[in-house]
Amino acid sequence: MDANLADAHAVLATIQFDFEWDWAGADDSFRRALALEPGNAQALDGAAQLARTMGRFEEAFTLDRRAVELDPLSEWAYMNLGVHAYYTGRLQDAFSAFQKVLDMNPEAVMAHQVMGRILLAQGRLPQALAEMEKEPDPGWRLYGMAIVNYALGNKKESDTETAEYVAKNYDGAAFQIAEIYASRGDADRAFEWLDRAHNQRDTALVFFKGDPLLNNLELDPRYHVFLKKMRLPT
């Protein structure tokens, strides 16, 4: 009825991106939405996420900065900026963005968990553990604790947390389970859970390429096989 409705193109792009893994189609739809309405928040957010998925991390970061400029009070815009700064290795920018999120909403779900991952990447392990303990969502808190405790050498605690997380999320968080095993250096289990995520059409697989928690898998031949399986650039 209205081929020039930016919101409709943005929603179509989101479906193509999250559920169909039609990267080219989503790219076309997001670009069309932004051509019609350059300040469309959903289109900017989605285009940034697609850029990250395709490994175009600087583009993602640039789109997020634009979104923040358009809506400096948006908690979600700062969260996306922080995630994509983390993916590009801009750890201080990532830290600052998530500090802004937490200033606006100290109980923002996932914010403390991602902040903990940023601190982990900076080598600030005790602070990372303290941040994970503040995460209000019990699932994300358990996930984060399993990762950081292993990095701290608290293997017994991490083993218990990992087993509990797997038991509670066996059918619903295959990608996050793969991240935990990858962070522990267990490539075989990580790829097993990545394959399970693919079979389940886990929407979190859009975070696969460039995920800092999966960095130690990138030299494994199975990593590039999986990129091809996802039809992502190698």
Tell me 203's DSSP state.
Answer: G
Calculate the alpha carbon distances from 190 to 46, 73, 166, 178, 181 in Å. Answer: 27, 37, 12, 4, 5
pLDDT, tens only, 180-202: 999 999 999 999 999 999 999 99
Cα dihedral sign, 115-119-121-126: negative
pLDDT, tens only, 107-155: 999 999 999 999 999 999 999 999 999 999 999 999 999 999 999 999 9
Q: Are 23 and 52 in contact (CB under 8 A)?
A: no
Spatial distance between the Cα atoms of 188 and 117, rounded to a whole number of angstroms: 22
Residues in the chain: 234
Residue 21 pLDDT > 90, yes or no?
Answer: yes
Residue 234 pLDDT > 90, yes or no?
Answer: no
- pLDDT tier at 75, thresholds 50, 70, 90: very high
Residue 96 pLDDT > 90, yes or no?
Answer: yes
Q: Are 46 and 54 in contact (CB under 8 A)?
A: no
Amino acid 81: pLDDT: 96
Amino acid 1: pLDDT: 82
